[in-house]
Each structure stands twice: as structure tokens, then as C-alpha cells.
Structure 1
Amino acid sequence: MGARAIFHLFLHAAVPALLAWLFWRERFGRAWALLLLGWIIDIDHLLADPIYAPGRCSIGFHPLHTAPAIAVYAGLTLPRRTRLFGIGLLVHIALDAIDCLWMRYAG
């Protein structure tokens, strides 16, 4: 696993932690856990062959990384009960999109 992939995985934990600390500090642990649940959408990688391809962009390739799914994630941010989970899903998608750009432009 290369440095880009390791950094990408680190960001998937660190960015939710930072957001939880900045915006939900009084309930940091719960907020961070709900934001980390956004990682669950990577279960769709199990449908791919190979399951892990370091140079493959997830956005638009895996079913839970497509525009219709992202619209659902945005909708989950509206009800208070699912808001943190929805934000976690959108953060996950944003980090994956940044990774796609990094792969495309940084080689």
C-alpha cells in the first residue's frame, strides 16, 4: 500500500475526528463514531474485481459512490436523527473525490 493510500485512510479517520471536535465537542465520542459510520459505504468495494485497486477512482464506479446514492446521503443530513451519519457519508464521498483528483493530477 502506497503513501497516498495510507494518507487517504488516515484522512477518513482524522477529518471526522476534527469535525466532531470542532462542532460537537461536548459529545465528541458519539459524534466521531456517527461520522465514522460513513465508512460503511465502502462495503460496495466487495462487489468489485479486484476488491482493492489502488489506482481506481471510487466515485461513479462503486454503486454506493454514485450520484443517486450521494443524493440520499445529502437527504440524511436533514433529519436531526440521521444528520451526523449523513454528514459522515458526505465527508467520505468528499475525501474519495479528493483522492480521485489526486490520482488524476499527481499521477
Structure 2
Amino acid sequence: MLATMLVDLDHVFANPLFDPNRNSIGYHPLHSYWAIGAYFLDAIFLKGNYRIIAVGLLFHMFTDFQDFWLWKSMLRLS
């Protein structure tokens, strides 16, 4: 599951590389809604290690979404 963090390589093509006001879900190609749908279908229909990778990618998308809202609330407090 740690290897699914390689999906963040698509952040390298963003300008700026990190923006706390930008939600990576829907912005980066491997974080698009189409990709998330594919990860979801893969988690249902694939077997073995492929299913583990798909579930890891779904967890990754969930944590990226949470990270955006955490940054948003932290910036609002300061």
C-alpha cells in the first residue's frame, strides 16, 4: 500500500508544486474523478495484489481530500 503513494508523481507537473488552497482531487490527472472511479471498480472486480493496490489508491484519495480540508481550516484559523 505504501507504493500507492507514487500516484503523487503527478503533482510534479502542477504549478505551483504545492498550494494549500488547491484540492488535488479533481486537479491532478491521477487524482481525477475518472481515475477515482477506475480505482473503485478495480477494488471491486480485481483479485489479489491488484485489489490491494486499488484499495490503497482509494485510501490515498481519501487522505488527500482530508488533507485539503485540514489545510483549509488551519489557514482560516490563522
Q: Name the TM-score, length of structure 2 as normaliser.
A: 0.80
Contact 1:37 1:89 in 2 (8 A): no
Equivalent residue number for residue 12 of structure 2: 46
Distance 1:40 1:72 in 2: 17
Contact 1:38 1:90 in 2 (8 A): no
Distance 1:98 1:87 in 2: 17
The superposition leaves residues 17-73 of structure 1 with CA deviations (integer Å, 9 ceiling, x where unpaired) of xxxxxxxxxxxxxxxxxx11211211111211222x141321111111111010011
Structure 1 pair 76/37, CA: closer, same or farther in 2 (3 Å)?
farther
Equivalent residue number for residue 64 of structure 2: 96
Equivalent residue number for residue 37 of structure 2: 71
Structure 1 unmatched ranges of 5 or more: 1-34
Tell me which stretches of 4 or more aligned residues in structure 1 moved more than 3 Å: none
- TM-align CA RMSD: 1.4
Identity of aligned residues (%): 33
Distance 2:2 2:56 in 1: 6
Q: Look up the equivalent residue of 1:90 and give its one-letter code.
A: L
Determine which structure has greater relative contact order: mean sequence separation of CA pairs < 8 Å that are 6+ residues apart, divided by chain length: 2
